[in-house]
Amino acid sequence: MDTVRKTRPRGGLLAAAGPLGKPLPLALAVAAVVVVVLSAVSDSSTLFNLTSAAVSVVFMQSYGLITGRAGVISLCQLSFAAIGAWTVGWANVNDVPGGLYVWLLLGGLAAVVAGLLIGLPALRLRGVNLAVGTFAFAIALDVVFGGLNFPGQSSSDLVQRPELFDTDQAYFIFAAAVAALIFVGLYFLDRSRLGGALVEIRHSERAAAAHGISVTQGKLAAFALSAFVAGIGGGLMAGQLGVVTASNFSSFASVALFAIALFVGTNNVEGAIAGGIMGAFVPVLMDEIGIPQDLASLLFGLGAIQVLRMGQSQTDLLRGQRRRRRLAKNPIAPLQPPPVSVFPRKRPVRVTSKGVPALEVRDLRVKFGNLVAVDDVSLVLPRGQIVGLVGPNGAGKSTLINTVTGFTNRYTGQVLLGGKPIDALSAHHRARAGVRRSFQQLRVPTSISVGMFLQVAAGKTLTGKEIDEQLALFACPPADTPMEAVDVATRRLLEVAGLAVGRPPVLLLDEPAAGHSSDETRLLVERLAEIPERFDTSLLLVEHDIELVRATCDQVVVLDFGRVIASGPPQQVLNDPTVIAAYLGDSTR
C-alpha cells in the first residue's frame, strides 16, 4: 500500500523563492529602485565608489561560481578580469562595432579561453596545490601585463561608454544592471542540473561521479563561467576608469578579493553584494579615518581564516539561523510509516527473467597489497530481481560495489551490464550507462533543497510533478525543504528515492537501512520491494539487517573473506549452517 504524506502543492523547482527569499521579479524591482535612488542622491565621489562596488559585486559573483558553488580554490580571478579589460581596451582602440555592450561580451569570451586553458591542467590538482597553481598563473600574468601597456594606456585613449550611459550617474546604473543580469543567470543556474552538479562536486566528487556527473566537465564549466563573469567585470572596470593598468588587477588584489569572498560567502546574492560593497568601501573608509588601506586586506585575511576554522561563511551562518527560526515556527511533520506492519511480509513473487541478466560479475578479484578483498567472485543479478549481498564485516561487500561501479579499477575479472562489458568505463560513465549506487557513508550535500537533491540523485531533469510524487511515495518532506533540515535517516531515504526515480537498469544500495528506526525500515522495505516493478530497476542490496533481506530479496549471495560461500533463495541460504556459522550466529535461527 502506498504511504503518501501530504506535501504542500507547489509548481516545481522554478516556483522556489528567489534571491533574499523574495520572488525574482520583486527582488529585481526593489534593487532597481535602490540603484536609481542612490544614483540620484550621490555626489560624484560616492558615485565613483558605488560603481566600484558594482564592479566588485561582479568579481564576487565570479568567486561565487568557482569557489562558492564548485568548491574550487582559484586565486586568479582578477587575471581573467585583466584579460576582459585588455580586450575591451583593444576593441575601443580598434573601433570594433557594437560599442561597449559587444566589447564586454568579447572580453568575457576572451577570459573564457584563458579559464579553459588554466582549468584543464588545474583539474589534476586539488586544495592547496590548486591554489598555488592558480596563484602562479596570476603572478605570470602580472609579469606579462606589467611588461605590456594596456591598449589605450600610452595614448590615453579612454574607453568609450555607450551614449545612454555616458555620465557617471548613468554608468553606475549600467554597472548595477550588468551585475543584476548576472544574478538572474546565476538564479537559473542554481536551479538547473549543472547548478546541482556543481554543488555536488563541491560536496563529494565520488557522490557526483556515482550520479553520472563528470567532475572534469563540471569543474571546467565552473572555470569557464567564472572567467566569463570576471572578464565582464574587468571590462566594466575599463569603462569606469577609461584606462586601466596592470596594477588594477594584481595577483595580490586577487587574493584580497578571494579572502573577502571566503569571509562573506559569495555563492548567494546577499554575500556577493556585501562582498562587493566591502571590497569598494572598506579601504576608502580606512583611508578617511587615517588607517593605511593595505590593512583592509589583512582584516579580510583574518576573516577568511576564521571562516576556514568554522567551515561556514558569514552569509551561510545567517541563512542557517534564518532557516532554523523558520523551521522552529513550521516544523517538518514526522515521517508517517506504512499503516500495516511488513514484518514478516511475503516477498512479491517475481518471475525470473530468462533473458540477459541486468548485471553479471565474472571472476572478480580485487587485491589491496597482500589482502585479497574480493576473491574470484561471480554473481548474476537477473533483470527485475532483488539480490541481497550479505556477509560479516570486512567480507568484501563494499569493495565489490566499488569495483562494479568503477571506483576501484585495479581488478581482474569482468563486469557486464545488460551483457556488455563495462570494465573500460570510468565511474561517471558507468553511472551514465545505467549502474547507479549509494554509499555506506552518506554523501548528500546539505546546502540545496530536497527537490534539487532528488534531481541530482536521479541524474536527470525531473518535472515538478515527478518530484512531488516521488517525495510523497517515500514519505519525504516537500521539495523546497532545505536538505540541512532533514534528519539523517530521511536523507538516506531521499537518496534511494532519487536514485530509483532515475530508473537506472541496475541499482546497488550499500546498507540503505543503516541508522533507520523500525518505522523507517518498514517504509524502506515497502519501497525497496516495489523498485523492480515500479522503476524497471534491478537491485543489488548490501544489508546487515537480515529481516530486511528476507523481506525483500529474491536471491541472496553470502560473502566471507572475499569468497562466495552460499547463494540461492533467502529461505534456503539464510538457514544454511555454513552461513549461520560464518555470519548470522544462533540469534537468527
Residues engaged in binding ligand ATP (CB under 6 A):
368, 371, 373, 391, 393-399, 440
Locus of grid cell 586601466: 244
Yes or no: say if 406 and 559 are a contact pair by the CB < 8 Å rule: no
Question: Is 237 or 542 the residue whose CB approaches ligand ATP more closely?
Answer: 542
Q: SS3 for 6-29, per residue?
A: CCCCCCCHHHCCCHHHCCHHHHHH
Nearest to 515 by CA among 546, 492, 539: 492
Locus of grid cell 568505463: 425
Q: Tell me how far, at minimum, the Cβ of 401 lies from ligand ATP, in Å.
A: 8
Question: Is 92 or 398 the residue whose CB approaches ligand ATP more closely?
Answer: 398
Question: Is 274 or 374 the residue whose CB approaches ligand ATP more closely?
Answer: 374
DSSP-assigned states of every residue in 466-488: HHHHHHHHTTPPPTTSBGGGS-H
Yes or no: say if 144 and 83 are a contact pair by the CB < 8 Å rule: no
| Dihedral pair phi/psi, residue 535, rounded to 5° | -115, 5
Yes or no: say if 106 and 87 are a contact pair by the CB < 8 Å rule: yes
* Sequence-separated (6 or more) residues with CB below 8 Å from residue 519: 335, 337
Q: Tell me how far, at minimum, the Cβ of 299 lies from ligand ATP, in Å.
A: 43
Question: Is 272 or 565 the residue whose CB approaches ligand ATP more closely?
Answer: 565
Q: Tell me how far, at minimum, the Cβ of 366 lies from ligand ATP, in Å.
A: 8
Question: Is 204 or 313 the residue whose CB approaches ligand ATP more closely?
Answer: 204
Euclidean distance between CA atoms 103 and 122, whole angstroms:
28
* β strands within 344-502, DSSP E: 359-368, 371-381, 386-390, 411-417, 420-421, 435-437
Yes or no: say if 401 and 415 are a contact pair by the CB < 8 Å rule: no
In sequence order, the β-bridge partners of residue 560 are: 563
Question: Is 390 or 539 the residue whose CB approaches ligand ATP more closely?
Answer: 390
Euclidean distance between CA atoms 88 and 341, whole angstroms:
69
Nearest to 61 by CA among 310, 355, 266: 266
* Sequence-separated (6 or more) residues with CB below 8 Å from residue 328: none
Q: Tell me how far, at minimum, the Cβ of 335 lies from ligand ATP, in Å.
A: 26
Q: Tell me how far, at minimum, the Cβ of 360 lies from ligand ATP, in Å.
A: 20
Q: Tell me how far, at minimum, the Cβ of 531 lies from ligand ATP, in Å.
A: 22
Question: Is 313 or 403 the residue whose CB approaches ligand ATP more closely?
Answer: 403
Nearest to 10 by CA among 504, 364, 471: 471
Q: Tell me how far, at minimum, the Cβ of 437 lies from ligand ATP, in Å.
A: 13
Q: Tell me how far, at minimum, the Cβ of 511 lies from ligand ATP, in Å.
A: 7
Q: Tell me how far, at minimum, the Cβ of 544 lies from ligand ATP, in Å.
A: 7
Question: Is 265 or 396 the residue whose CB approaches ligand ATP more closely?
Answer: 396
Question: Is 254 or 398 the residue whose CB approaches ligand ATP more closely?
Answer: 398
Question: Is 114 or 373 the residue whose CB approaches ligand ATP more closely?
Answer: 373
CA dihedral 7, 9, 14, 18 (to 10 degrees): -80
Question: Is 27 or 395 the residue whose CB approaches ligand ATP more closely?
Answer: 395
Q: Tell me how far, at minimum, the Cβ of 364 lies from ligand ATP, in Å.
A: 12
Q: Tell me how far, at minimum, the Cβ of 373 lies from ligand ATP, in Å.
A: 3
Question: Is 511 or 520 the residue whose CB approaches ligand ATP more closely?
Answer: 511
Q: Tell me how far, at minimum, the Cβ of 400 lies from ligand ATP, in Å.
A: 7
Euclidean distance between CA atoms 550 and 94, whole angstroms:
76
Euclidean distance between CA atoms 147 and 42, whole angstroms:
38
User: At 285, which amino acid appears?
Assistant: L
* Sequence-separated (6 or more) residues with CB below 8 Å from residue 241: 248
**CB-hemisphere CA count at 13 Å for 409?**
10
Angle of helix 99-122 relative to helix 215-241, nearest 10 degrees?
Answer: 140
